[in-house]
């Protein structure tokens, strides 16, 4: 059992009472060490019980219309806005990040998506007509979506409000019941979400917050939900997928990243410097889409390094609320950042400004002479370090950016938007921004997710709601013919007719339209013959 961390965020503790072992989550604010509460940590029995309650709540929730469910998202959004300062304060106290960061990244992004579902979910989840093919003349095709059942949402600590509530809301509006396991580092935010959802009027049992660490997450997966939506590290994602495979539970994995920024010499220099500093250091680099490596065209490389280091040196570092960079709140995370930095310095990287570290606080570090032999360029650092490399031309920039195990996001900085789009298309990742950063996860209508070791699956947008739904194709034939032309008996005449149809349809360019007309008349002819035989 892990002991409580120095800063209170490695917070799973155990105590013995008789022969029974209770695990308790104790959360302490990284701002001032104030206790934020304790929560019992759920084991397999509690996970099974929560699953049973969710299965009970599911049918009546699923029976409601999407519009009816979506109305509650309006209520939830109003409640969050009415209690905005308290919600922001809770996030600041739990994570130590600044107020602006908490409001814009965690709360605003969540409100945007609640509003989107309120307006769009019913249209997105309405049955869709699909085209028929020639062989299916007379049959109409529709795709319909229905809820999966119970979805387990397992969330991380870095954006504890958005990354728990957005997938939970996506699953809920699609008609599922949700078991939400917040991070063991930020249980108070999980509890806050549960409370807000209850007070917004959602029926009992449709969203339950199940507190605990990795073992609790595993117990939830073993309770056989209909889907697991996991956001967290690549290492945990592998374990989640292995556990889910035992019962063939589908998983969606939103994992770590190593996002590159590609800066071309024609870019608006000041914007690129400001944007890349923000992308690298926002939330103290603890964002999945953080810029973790920059490639800069040789002509501006030295000037860029100086300018970004200068900007970084002026950022305010300290616990929130009025700060640019909060602390690195996990001991484990600080150790990774230290190790990556030591590895880079040992292999020839040099900091552009002297490195400054205090207890729990990391001032941003900009590194020159970075290479792909360094962990800081290949493994997720999740801290305020920006290693920089020079490139000669577009091909080299793309090759370096794609030379990674990860594939979450990337950014391209150039005044030539044609080049921006072209380079974006060549990058192996789930999303790319041109002359901007960290934007792709915030648009409720644009699908978000990763490639390679950054995971798979998409949420947000129509794709994000369909991901939480069963998809069914329904083909309806009025059935006025006694039987279809290709049904038995299979005669030589039927073979010849079908052969003519195939040849006419697929004889070459432009033949299809003509073929479709002929298919229509053949179909009419067959229909006449069949009628005569009846």
Q: Based on CB atoms, which residue is closest to ligand NAD, 61 or 382?
A: 382
- The residue number whose beta carbon is nearest to ligand NAD equals 217
Closest CA to 82 of 218, 195, 166, 196: 196
- Residue 46 bears catalytic tag: no
| Active-site choice (27, 184, 252, 254) | 254
Q: Based on CB atoms, which residue is closest to ligand NAD, 156 or 420?
A: 156
What is residue 521's three-state secondary structure? helix
From residue 429, give the alpha-carbon distance in Å to each of 95, 403, 449.
28, 11, 9
Closest CA to 355 of 318, 328, 386: 386
CB 373 within 8 A of CB 345: no
What is residue 82's three-state secondary structure? helix
Q: Based on CB atoms, which residue is closest to ligand NAD, 243 or 272?
A: 243
Helices (H), 159-268: 162-173, 187-199, 214-222, 234-245
Query: What is the DSSP pairing of strand 150-154 with strand 139-147?
Result: unpaired
Shortest distance, position 158 Cβ to ligand NAD, whole Å: 5
Shortest distance, position 518 Cβ to ligand NAD, whole Å: 51
**Binding of ligand NAD at residue 217 (CB under 6 A)?**
yes
Q: Based on CB atoms, which residue is closest to ligand NAD, 218 or 368?
A: 218
Within positions 371 to 390, which residues make up the interface with ligand NAD, using CB under 6 A? 380, 382
- Residue 288 bears catalytic tag: yes
Question: For ligand NAD, which stretch binds (CB under 6 A), given 38-46, 80-88, 189-197, 250-258?
Answer: 250-258
Q: Cα separation of 260 and 258, whole Å?
A: 7
Q: In DSSP terms, which residues pair with 16 in a beta bridge? A: 21
Shortest distance, position 293 Cβ to ligand NAD, whole Å: 14
Q: Cα separation of 383 and 214, whole Å?
A: 22
Q: Which two tokens stand for residue 364?
A: 């941003």
**Binding of ligand NAD at residue 288 (CB under 6 A)?**
yes
Work out which of 240, 251, 317, 329 binds ligand NAD, going by CB under 6 A: 240
Work out which of 450, 457, 485, 515 binds ligand NAD, going by CB under 6 A: 450
Shortest distance, position 47 Cβ to ligand NAD, whole Å: 11
From residue 405, give the alpha-carbon distance in Å to each of 213, 378, 472.
27, 7, 35
| Active-site choice (23, 288, 292, 429) | 288
**Binding of ligand NAD at residue 279 (CB under 6 A)?**
no
Which residues belong to the active site? 254, 288
Tell me which residues touch ligand NAD (CB under 6 A).
154-158, 163, 181, 183-184, 213-214, 217-218, 231-233, 236, 239-240, 254-257, 288, 380, 382, 408, 450, 454-455
């Amino acid at each position: 059992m892990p002991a409580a961390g120095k800063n209170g965020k490695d917070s799973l503790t155990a105590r013995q009472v008789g022969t029974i072992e209770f695990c308790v989550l104790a959360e302490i604010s990284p701002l001032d060490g104030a206790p934020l509460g304790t929560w019992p940590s759920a084991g397999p029995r509690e996970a099974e019980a929560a699953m049973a309650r969710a299965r009970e709540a599911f049918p009546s929730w699923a029976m409601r219309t999407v519009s009816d469910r979506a109305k509650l998202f309006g209520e939830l959004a109003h409640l969050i806005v009415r209690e905005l300062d308290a919600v922001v304060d809770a996030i600041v106290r739990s994570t130590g990040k600044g107020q602006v960061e908490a409001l814009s990244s965690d709360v605003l992004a969540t409100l945007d998506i609640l509003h989107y579902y309120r307006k769009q979910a019913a249209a997105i989840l309405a049955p869709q007509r699909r085209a028929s093919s020639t062989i299916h003349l007379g049959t109409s095709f529709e795709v319909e979506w229905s809820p999966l059942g119970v979805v387990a949402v397992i969330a991380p600590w870095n954006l504890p409000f958005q990354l728990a509530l957005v997938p939970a809301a996506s699953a809920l509006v699609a008609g599922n019941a949700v078991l939400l396991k917040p991070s063991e580092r930020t249980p108070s935010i999980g509890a806050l979400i549960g409370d807000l959802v209850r007070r917004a009027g959602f029926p009992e049992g449709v969203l339950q917050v199940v507190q605990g660490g990795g073992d609790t997450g595993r117990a939830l997966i073993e309770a056989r939900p209909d889907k697991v939506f996991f956001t967290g590290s690549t290492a945990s994602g592998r374990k989640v997928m292995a556990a889910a495979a035992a019962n063939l539970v589908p998983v969606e994995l939103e994992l770590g990243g190593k996002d590159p920024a590609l800066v071309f010499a024609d870019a608006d220099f000041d914007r690129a410097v400001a944007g890349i500093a923000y992308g690298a250091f926002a939330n103290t680099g603890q964002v999945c889409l953080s810029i973790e490596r920059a490639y800069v065209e040789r002509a501006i490389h030295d000037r860029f390094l100086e300018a970004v280091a200068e900007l970084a040196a002026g950022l305010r570092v300290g616990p929130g609320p009025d700060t640019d960079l909060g602390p690195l709140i996990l001991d484990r995370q600080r150790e990774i950042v230290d190790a990556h930095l030591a590895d880079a310095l040992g292999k020839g990287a040099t900091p552009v400004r002297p490195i400054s570290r205090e207890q729990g606080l990391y001032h941003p570090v900009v590194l020159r002479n970075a290479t792909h032999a360094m962990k800081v360029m290949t493994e997720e650092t999740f801290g305020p370090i920006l290693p920089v490399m020079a490139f000669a031309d577009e091909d080299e920039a793309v090759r370096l950016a794609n030379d990674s195990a990860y594939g979450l996001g990337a950014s391209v900085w150039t005044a030539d938007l044609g080049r921006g789009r072209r380079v974006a298309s060549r990058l192996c990742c789930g999303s790319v921004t041109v002359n901007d950063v960290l934007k792709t996860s915030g648009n409720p209508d644009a699908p978000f997710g990763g490639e390679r070791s950054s995971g798979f699956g998409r949420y947000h947008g129509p794709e994000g709601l369909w991901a939480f739904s069963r998809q069914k194709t329904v083909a309806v034939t009025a059935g006025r013919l006694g039987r279809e032309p290709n049904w038995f008996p299979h005669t030589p005449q039927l073979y010849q007719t079908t052969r003519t149809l195939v040849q006419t349809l697929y004889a070459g360019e432009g033949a299809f339209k003509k073929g479709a007309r002929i298919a229509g008349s053949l179909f009419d002819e067959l229909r006449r013959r069949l009628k005569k035989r009846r």
